[in-house]
Structure formats: C-alpha cells, structure tokens
C-alpha cells in the first residue's frame, strides 16, 4: 500500500476529521516547483515534536499521519531516538524531516507553527513556556506541569501570549466518552455524588542504580534542563525517572491524571476543600521513590467526593479493566472503562445501557494506547489554531486536573490531609506542604513570564 493510501485510510478510520488548516509558507528543503506538487501544502500546520524516545515517537507518527500537518523537526537529547523517530515520520510524510539535538534551535525557526512536547515531566511546563514565548502553539502531554506553581504560570502565559495550548487528556475528544459524560450530566444515573478512578499494572523493580559515565548518545545536561544537577545513574533514562520526585510525579500523574480528569469533568467540580492520600513504595526495595500503591481522596464543597487508586505492581483489574472511572448516583452507576465506550447500571447492578466501539485501546501500552482515537484530539488542536474552535482540553482544565493529583502527592509526602481553598486550589495553613507547591531550579533555568 502506498504512503498516500495509508494516510488516507488512517484518517478515514479516525472519523474523518477536518483537513483544512490554512497556514502558508514554503517547506524547508523544497523548491517552489516541488511545493506545488504537494496537495494541500498551504493548509498544513507545521510542527516540531520534542522528546521522541517513547510516547513522543508515537505522537510524531500520529501528527505526521494527519493530512493537514507536516512534522518538520524531530528533537531529542538522545541522538538514537532522533534517528528512530525520523524513520517513523519519513515513512508517512511526503518529505524528509530533520533532527535536532537542542529543541531551542527548533523554536527559533519561523517555519514552525506548533510544538508537541513529550519530554520528561520536569520539562513539560518550562518547554511549553519557551514555546509560547517563541510564538508557537503548544500540544503538551500530561501532566502539564511538575508542580502546581508551574501550572499556574502556564495559565498566565497562555493568557499573555494568546497561543493555543492543548493538554494530552485525549479522552476528552473520544466520541463515546463524550456521550457518556453527556448522559451522566443529563441525569442518566440521577444526581452523581461519588466517583472512583483507578490504574493497575505489574511494573518490575528498577533496581539500585550505579553512578556511571554519561553515554555518548545522551546530552545529560540538557536532559536535566530546569532541574538542579545530579550525577548520571544507569537506571534513570529513559523511563524510571517517573518514579523519582526530582524529575517525575509518580503513577498519580503518569496515569492518574487521565482518570481524575474524567471524574472532575463528569462530576462538574474544580477545586476540592480537602485532599488526603495513603500508600507507599511496598513491592520492591529499590530506587523507586514515589508510591507504587496509592489511594487519593478528594472532598468538594458541592457535597461530592472522589478517589483515585493506583496499583503499579499488582495488575488485578477493577470492573474487568486495568484503568477506568466509575460514577455513582442516586439512581445507578456509569462506567467509563478506559476505552471509547461506557456502561450504565441500575442500583441492582444490572446493565441498562452499553455503548461499544470498534476501536481497540491498550491502556498499558506506554507509548501509543489509542492511536486512531487520539487523532481526534490532534484535529481539535488544529481546528482551534485555524478556526478558534474550543479546545477539548485547554490549559485551564488541564491545570485543574493536574493540580488535583499533585495535591494528592503533596498530602502523601507530608503524611496528612490537606485543607484546600476551593476558590483557587491553594493549600491552607500548612507551611511544610506549601513548600512543595513549587520547586528549585538549576540557576538560569527558572520559569519567567
């Protein structure tokens, strides 16, 4: 099958999202004559994808598959990841993208309209801010920030620089999830007053790392970027940083953000009045710092509560799903089991409605769990850039959902329940907890509007 047919069939499968995005400019490495031969070239959003070892590589391929997008730059501090990702992108695009070891050079390019950020968590907010300051729109993976203060800065930056900023809460664009939330808000289970989300897996030990020389394929200084400098250990790059507070945010933000976002969306709440967390690192004795087992509880002034349960090292599913969100109401229960589908139960547990989808998802796939469905989120991003369409997951909603699980982590780290200002989500009367609202930066890397 040709690249053209592959691309056309992909977009049909992804529900025929709009391909009209009018942004001009001749692409790099193309003559005016060759440019004329590219159908719809002047309608394409030109992107740079940053952080392409795992999730970023999948995103780069997905963006390249969109008929109204050209991926011009592939950026990573790992030169091996650049090469691998270029192979993926060049397999679906009509021209050859270029690689860049320092994404800041890509930001200098006038050819780039939007930046896709899939770097480690400690980079999400600083890179998003730099992109907006360079005049680029931003698609940032969850979580949008490493700590609450960074999320607030991103909201201020978006308001100042007037750029489109979409967070990767992709389920906000999945058609049947939207229908399920609409059914919930329209009273399908009566008044909903309690929500429960979860994530399960069977992650293995990360061991005890050894300080070793930095590999020649890695720019360790730029990988650390805004984080204060630490020596290179052999069990950090490329995934285990998730479980270390210095760079990561644990399972709560790695996967809990998605389900907490669904719960907050469905229950119609913003900031809680109280947050607590129980759990710890139980399964292995290694360098893993964040909880592998955690239950975060949220109470809201509206008379609503919700919890999120994370089990990184015991993969027993809930409701026959490794990930999901459940809403409990006066007249029944509604389940979003992680894919593009939902079920409604009566008070006796009988299924009264089930909406299925042919698209298959794999929530334990760390890089590309739902490619076709995620294309809809990408197209929403493009429509917001071109037509001013409302974002499914703008930075305001992204920050609020990210903040909730950040508050859960802060409660976990200080070992007590937190009282929260329901007007803005700030921690009340707890100096120790308030110190975790922000972080220290490597000198010269501070986030500044």
Task: Indicate the CATH number for domain 176-362+396-437.
Answer: 3.30.360.10
444: left (phi over 0), alpha (psi -120 to 50) or beta: left
Predicted confidence at residue 237, as pLDDT, reads: 96
Q: Which residues pair with 274 in a beta bridge?
A: 299, 419
Q: CATH 3.30.360.10 occupies which residues in the chain?
A: 176-362+396-437
Say which residue the tokens 């999202």 belong to: 17
**Rounded mean pLDDT of 439-448?**
97
Q: φ and ψ at 138, to 5 degrees?
A: -135, 130
- Who has greater pLDDT, 421 or 359? 421
Q: Which residues contact 315 (CB under 8 A, 6 or more apart)?
A: 200, 201, 202, 322
Say what percent of the chain tops pLDDT 70: 88
Predicted confidence at residue 70, as pLDDT, reads: 97
Predicted confidence at residue 29, as pLDDT, reads: 32
Residue 51 confidence (pLDDT) above 70: yes
The pair of structure tokens assigned to 159 is: 């308001």
Residue 9 confidence (pLDDT) above 90: no
Q: Are 425 and 403 in contact (CB under 8 A)?
A: yes
Q: CATH 3.40.50.720 occupies which residues in the chain?
A: 3-172
- Who has greater pLDDT, 405 or 20? 405
Residue 22 confidence (pLDDT) above 80: no
Q: On the CB side of 379, how many CA atoms lie within 13 Å of its CA? A: 21
Predicted confidence at residue 357, as pLDDT, reads: 86
Predicted confidence at residue 372, as pLDDT, reads: 80
Strands 323-329 and 333-336: antiparallel
Least confident of 11-20, 44-53, 385-394: 11-20
Max CA separation in the chain (angstroms): 68
Task: Indicate the CATH number for domain 3-172.
Answer: 3.40.50.720
The pair of structure tokens assigned to 195 is: 């929500």
CA distances in angstroms from 349 to 191, 194, 343, 346, 353, listed in the order given: 17, 16, 11, 5, 12
As a whole number, the mean pLDDT across the chain is 90
Predicted confidence at residue 28, as pLDDT, reads: 30
Residue 4 confidence (pLDDT) above 50: no
Q: φ and ψ at 41, to 5 degrees?
A: -60, -40
C-alpha to C-alpha distance for 108 and 404, rounded to whole angstroms: 34
C-alpha to C-alpha distance for 58 and 322, rounded to whole angstroms: 21
Q: φ and ψ at 135, to 5 degrees?
A: 85, 20
| CB neighbours of residue 350 within 10 Å | 9
Predicted confidence at residue 15, as pLDDT, reads: 36
The pair of structure tokens assigned to 20 is: 């009209």
C-alpha to C-alpha distance for 400 and 251, rounded to whole angstroms: 17
Per-residue model confidence as pLDDT tens digits over 298-318:
999 999 999 999 999 999 999
How confident is residue 54, by pLDDT bands cut at 50, 70 and 90? confident
Residue 38 confidence (pLDDT) above 80: no
Predicted confidence at residue 118, as pLDDT, reads: 98
Predicted confidence at residue 370, as pLDDT, reads: 64
State the pTM of this model.
0.89
């Amino acid at each position: 099958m040709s690249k053209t047919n592959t691309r056309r069939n992909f977009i049909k499968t992804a529900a025929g999202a709009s391909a009209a995005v009018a942004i001009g400019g001749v692409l790099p490495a193309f003559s005016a004559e060759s440019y004329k031969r590219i159908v719809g070239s002047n309608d394409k959003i030109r992107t740079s994808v940053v952080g392409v070892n795992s999730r970023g590589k999948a995103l780069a391929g997905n963006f390249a598959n969109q008929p109204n997008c050209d991926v011009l730059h592939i950026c990573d501090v790992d030169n091996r990841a650049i090469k691998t990702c270029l192979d993926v992108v060049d397999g679906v695009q009509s021209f050859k993208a270029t690689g860049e070891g320092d994404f800041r050079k890509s930001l200098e390019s006038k050819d780039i309209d939007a930046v896709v950020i899939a770097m480690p968590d400690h980079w999400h907010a600083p890179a998003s801010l730099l992109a907006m300051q360079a005049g680029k729109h931003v698609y940032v993976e969850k979580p949008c920030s490493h700590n609450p203060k960074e999320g607030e800065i991103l909201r201020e930056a978006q308001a100042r620089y007037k750029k489109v900023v979409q967070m990767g809460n992709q389920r906000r664009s999945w058609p049947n999830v939207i229908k399920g939330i609409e059914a919930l808000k329209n009273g399908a289970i009566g008044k909903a007053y309690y929500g429960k989300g979860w994530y399960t897996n069977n992650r293995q030990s990360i061991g005890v790392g050894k300080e070793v020389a930095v590999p020649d394929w890695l720019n360790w200084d730029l990988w650390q970027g805004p984080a204060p400098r630490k020596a290179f250990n052999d069990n950090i790059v490329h995934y285990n940083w998730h479980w270390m507070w210095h760079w990561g945010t644990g399972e709560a933000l790695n996967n809990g953000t998605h389900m907490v976002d669904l719960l907050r969306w469905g229950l119609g709440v913003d900031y809680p009045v109280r947050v607590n967390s129980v759990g710890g690192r139980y399964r292995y004795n290694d360098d893993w710092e964040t909880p592998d087992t955690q239950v975060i509880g949220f109470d809201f002034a509206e008379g609503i509560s919700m919890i999120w349960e994370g089990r990184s090292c015991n993969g027993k599913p809930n409701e026959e799903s490794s990930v999901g969100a459940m809403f409990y109401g006066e007249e029944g229960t509604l389940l979003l089991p992680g894919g593009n589908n939902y079920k409604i139960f009566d008070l006796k547990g009988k299924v009264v409605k089930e909406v299925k989808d042919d698209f298959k998802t794999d929530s334990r796939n760390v890089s590309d769990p739902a490619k076709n469905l995620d294309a809809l989120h990408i197209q929403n991003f493009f429509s917001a850039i071109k037509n001013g369409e409302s974002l499914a997951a703008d930075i305001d909603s992204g920050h609020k959902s990210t903040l909730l699980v950040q508050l859960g982590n802060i409660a976990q780290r200080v070992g007590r329940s937190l009282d929260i200002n329901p007007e803005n989500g700030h921690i009340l009367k707890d100096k120790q907890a308030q110190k975790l609202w922000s972080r220290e930066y490597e000198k010269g890397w501070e986030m500044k509007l």
